[in-house]
Structure 1
């Protein structure tokens, strides 16, 4: 059952802002259904982070940016470049589909994503779509979709930043436009010496893990467009990043990554018909170093062809069709697989209706994965404009996640055994979204229920090797609240509050590392050439499992609240000074446990503490 007191308090606080507001909320266009539409006509709960939001916040990585979004909890195992578990509505990280320009960026070996290594300077905007979206996007879109759109800069800029733990960053963008041709480019390099990310047992002798855990990331991107409405627009988007991150572990203590996405596309729109065709190539390579003479490599290569069309029957009604062919290949990995490559062919059809009073959406999709069989998914949604500014939306849909190639076909792992009989995980999601907006403010509340069946979990066999099975079920119920207000003094208020019950259906216990209550409250103000933002981040109690001398046991980690401050000052028209202080009060806490000391006390993954960053940017 939802916590009524916490929800009531959040709504009361949100409504109390409205009496001061007098500005319009910015009109936003999204591509949640793979075609452009106004945010208010989308029948899903969507958050959008724009380029201006990124630059105003002065955060240094994608994870910090996403952690402020309603429904998202990012649990770090340390600082920059460290492993991150991103829980959307309490779901496992593997149940959120991550895209860069529509290209999947998850590891087909494990199903993990590499959000922590996506450079911020390469991003134009991020769309976070909450709820089951497999009928639109296919496998993995159980909890939602994070769609990252690469940089489309209209200016030439160079930015230098320095900060705590010997952090340094240089970024540059360039743009050129003439007639039908547009070019945008971005490049960046960041480095930090880091800090020792795991608390150490004072009774243990100093070893290789008693050191700083540094990180660097070098990246470059290019976007080319040519054409017009009559002939269509051809585009090429390419992003590349490489780097290295250090961490503390029994074996390997560092990893190297080389990632890229390339997408060639053509789109054309007329009064009746819109078409989009694309071919993309992507690669995710992660090499674990330091464990042996032969470093372990995890490599995923993907090729995808997609055709999407939208036909407008009338001003209110349109039909869409989509066909996608996806190939995934892990053959360059160190591990050996009985099957190292698989294909998926999907076909989807949809209908969308919008007559200003009623919204409706029906989408049907079928995926045919090699070795796993066919998965059929759907989305049904209905919305009503009750009064001016007030709308109620309902959507219900199904979703699935195909097993990873490691789970089904790896044959030489020292820790895992495959199960070729695995079935896809399946889910059903229902939610009601109530939105009210006027000249004064915007408020959105989404109540949802998401149930996953045939959940894949690992069980040890008699030789203590872990084997995956479809044996679990998990239930997720919760509410997300988003409030945006600008008061009569020009101060902008943003409240993102969530409550989630994420339970193992068998034990009825809250899943590990998920806080039931989260809240982020941001206030920002602009004075001519200066803007400042103060953010409060609160995370409630979480459970975590500890491995100690007597085996494993569960502990409750206490709640915590931190404050972050960002400011920007523009001078001489083209220069801008930037600054950010994270964890103003130097709050001591940790999100996750890392083990047990010899005296029985907990050891945790340490947050970096108070950090300061200053920079300068020049636009020309």
Structure 2
């Protein structure tokens, strides 16, 4: 259980922030609108913890990739296997990447084999806004939403702009975005090119002979996207969104492939129309996540092709009460992969119903959903939440929900694998989530505190089978993640302050040991100041020590438990408006050049821990033209 002293201190700190802010003003800050429940709501009325990263924040910080952006959010910790183009694991409230549903414009984009997401290959230039909704959301979104949902909304630029950036490790970036509008038709676009020579992503033993992995690991990404909207009085609104990216990256692998090519796209065609008290919407979406392992003559392909259809209606009974209902059909196909499966495709049919009440003082919602995945049976989930506003600026909330993650086709149907055997009886993973929270909004800032608990059962774990010499998946593990999140966005003393802290206790429910790679304390603080033409922001990021996976020590001839040290890094961003239409920008990453490890790989001959090389001191400069 989380230490009582830390929990008490966290709550008292949040309440002290809240009381001082409320006494300063009774005016609300600008309302932030989000789509956590698949329709637009004020952020304080969702009865869930929701964090939003706006385009203005991205441009102010000049952060270069999505993992770095997500690492600034309360309750999120990112473990990186190096820099650009390398794998990044995103832990939401201590849960693994596969337990968080990731969407681009509402379209699923994960690898259906492993549950991993190519976060580093989603270009920042294509992002307009990121909504992070925490807690069990399967009753609304279906499988995988066990710890939360990350919805990446692509660009909606209202004027044309071009940005050129150059930086460390021969980094170059070109991006462009804009919009064309004529009567009832709007066409937005974004495109980008990114390339870097990179650096050696894995630290090497000083006495090891120089091999093929003693080199820089480069990265390249080309991307383009379109957003077309047509509004008609008679037929409603039609929208078509497509985002495409391709490229390649190098990494270190002593035994085989050490590079990959990728091709990813997502597309969605949607319609919505209001008829009386009903709001109808329908959408068809498709996505491809394809990764081809290269570097040696034999190329392995990992491919996930999805098609999804959803019809949804929202009925507004009155100003306070509304109901929603939807049907959903999803198909997943791994047929483009080189791996062999006895079944390469599966379908899911789902229906969900929800009721929402909000009379500006009392809030409540209930959502129930039933999913029927091929080969795995039916999964029923629900979300319930209740809230009260004792003051127009203050919202107390409590929510409880369940969620699941369907087994992968690899778990159930892999064939002719040299490492794995299938288990046709594997069951979905299941989660139960609880949260108590409070939010406060005034003209001085917005504050939020959340106390959460997430229990995951039937975790799928690969167990070694001595008879076959292979691994077989079983539902044998469980985990509990609980803690406190604090966040504040405050205007004080002429500066803008963004602060968040997370206290996490994540344990293996079977062994009682701490889950590896999760820090127990995280802290992010950004202070920003604007002058006439100059904007400057300084960010600090702290992560406490974390347990590592067991590492093999060749000197001792056995695996050893290892704890990775905590670290603090500072980043600096600046923008200078030279004149109307031209802005110069800069970013200095890891100002002090701090060396740290979030993922270890082994031991050096002298006993030191080796791992993936952190993002060292890096500098970027550029210019943006708007017209």
Same fold (TM over 0.5): yes
CA drift at 1:464 = 3.6
Q: Which moved more, 1:139-148 or 1:520-529?
A: 520-529
Whole-angstrom distance in 1 between the partners of 2:442 and 2:129: 25
User: Could you say what secondary structure the match of 1:56 adopts?
Assistant: helix
Whole-angstrom distance in 1 between the partners of 2:621 and 2:30: 29
Whole-angstrom distance in 1 between the partners of 2:218 and 2:30: 39
Whole-angstrom distance in 2 between the partners of 1:442 and 1:173: 31
Change beyond 3 A, Cα 1:229–1:315: farther
Residue in structure 1 matched with residue 535 of structure 2 by the alignment: 531
Whole-angstrom distance in 1 between the partners of 2:606 and 2:489: 48
Whole-angstrom distance in 2 between the partners of 1:551 and 1:263: 51
> In the alignment, does 2:438 pair up with 1:465?
no
Note if contact 1:513-1:542 (Cα within 8 Å) is conserved in structure 2.
Answer: yes
CA displacement, residues 139-183 of structure 1 (integer Å, 9 cap, x when unaligned) = 000000000111111111100000111111000112101110000
Whole-angstrom distance in 2 between the partners of 1:204 and 1:432: 52
CA displacement, residues 1-57 of structure 1 (integer Å, 9 cap, x when unaligned) = 323444555566664695697785332110011111111111110001111111111
CA drift at 1:604 = 1.1
Note if contact 2:10-2:484 (Cα within 8 Å) is conserved in structure 1.
Answer: no
CA displacement, residues 416-473 of structure 1 (integer Å, 9 cap, x when unaligned) = 2211111000011011011122232321111011111100011111144221110011
Of 185, 194, 198, the match for 1:190: 194
What does 1:250-269 align with in structure 2 at a 5 Å threshold? 250=254, 251-269=256-274
Residue in structure 1 matched with residue 571 of structure 2 by the alignment: 564
Note if contact 1:43-1:393 (Cα within 8 Å) is conserved in structure 2.
Answer: yes
Whole-angstrom distance in 2 between the partners of 1:551 and 1:255: 32
User: Could you say what secondary structure the match of 2:341 adopts?
Assistant: coil
How many residue pairs match? The answer is: 618
Residue in structure 2 matched with residue 29 of structure 1 by the alignment: 33
Whole-angstrom distance in 2 between the partners of 1:468 and 1:331: 21
CA displacement, residues 499-527 of structure 1 (integer Å, 9 cap, x when unaligned) = 11110012111100000100001111111
> In the alignment, does 2:435 pair up with 1:428?
no
What does 1:147-158 align with in structure 2 at a 5 Å threshold? 147-158=151-162
Residue in structure 2 matched with residue 479 of structure 1 by the alignment: 484
User: Could you say what secondary structure the match of 1:136 adopts?
Assistant: helix
Whole-angstrom distance in 1 between the partners of 2:218 and 2:11: 42
What does 1:57-206 align with in structure 2 at a 5 Å threshold? 57-206=61-210
What does 1:607-618 align with in structure 2 at a 5 Å threshold? 607-618=614-625
Q: Which moved more, 1:351-360 or 1:196-205?
A: 196-205
> In the alignment, does 2:441 pair up with 1:437?
yes
Specify every segment of 5 or more residues in structure 2 that has no aligned partner in the other structure, as ranges: none
Of 593, 600, 613, the match for 1:606: 613
User: Could you say what secondary structure the match of 1:63 adopts?
Assistant: helix
Whole-angstrom distance in 1 between the partners of 2:9 and 2:164: 42
Of 330, 341, 366, the match for 1:326: 330
Whole-angstrom distance in 1 between the partners of 2:607 and 2:485: 38
Q: Which moved more, 1:124-133 or 1:521-530?
A: 521-530
Whole-angstrom distance in 2 between the partners of 1:160 and 1:270: 46
What does 1:152-551 align with in structure 2 at a 5 Å threshold? 152-228=156-232, 230-250=234-254, 251-291=256-296, 293-462=297-466, 463-487=468-492, 489-545=493-549, 546-549=551-554, 550-551=557-558
Change beyond 3 A, Cα 1:258–1:367: same
Whole-angstrom distance in 2 between the partners of 1:306 and 1:332: 25
Specify every segment of 5 or more residues in structure 1 that has no aligned partner in the other structure, as ranges: none
Note if contact 1:110-1:405 (Cα within 8 Å) is conserved in structure 2.
Answer: no
Whole-angstrom distance in 2 between the partners of 1:363 and 1:375: 14
Whole-angstrom distance in 2 between the partners of 1:80 and 1:318: 45
Q: Which moved more, 1:38-47 or 1:541-550?
A: 541-550
CA displacement, residues 85-120 of structure 1 (integer Å, 9 cap, x when unaligned) = 110000011000000111100011221111111011
CA drift at 1:230 = 4.6
> What's the RMSD between the two structures over aligned residues?
1.6
Note if contact 1:476-1:501 (Cα within 8 Å) is conserved in structure 2.
Answer: yes
Whole-angstrom distance in 1 between the partners of 2:585 and 2:5: 39
User: Could you say what secondary structure the match of 2:44 adopts?
Assistant: helix
Note if contact 1:193-1:212 (Cα within 8 Å) is conserved in structure 2.
Answer: yes
User: Could you say what secondary structure the match of 1:210 adopts?
Assistant: coil
Whole-angstrom distance in 2 between the partners of 1:438 and 1:235: 35
Residue in structure 1 matched with residue 3 of structure 2 by the alignment: 3
Whole-angstrom distance in 1 between the partners of 2:568 and 2:144: 32
Whole-angstrom distance in 2 between the partners of 1:239 and 1:345: 26
Note if contact 2:396-2:439 (Cα within 8 Å) is conserved in structure 1.
Answer: yes
TM-score, normalised to structure 1, is: 0.97
CA displacement, residues 196-244 of structure 1 (integer Å, 9 cap, x when unaligned) = 0111112221111000011111000001010145531111100000011
Note if contact 2:17-2:447 (Cα within 8 Å) is conserved in structure 1.
Answer: no
> In the alignment, does 2:605 pair up with 1:591?
no
Whole-angstrom distance in 2 between the partners of 1:289 and 1:427: 37
CA drift at 1:373 = 0.3
Whole-angstrom distance in 2 between the partners of 1:265 and 1:139: 22
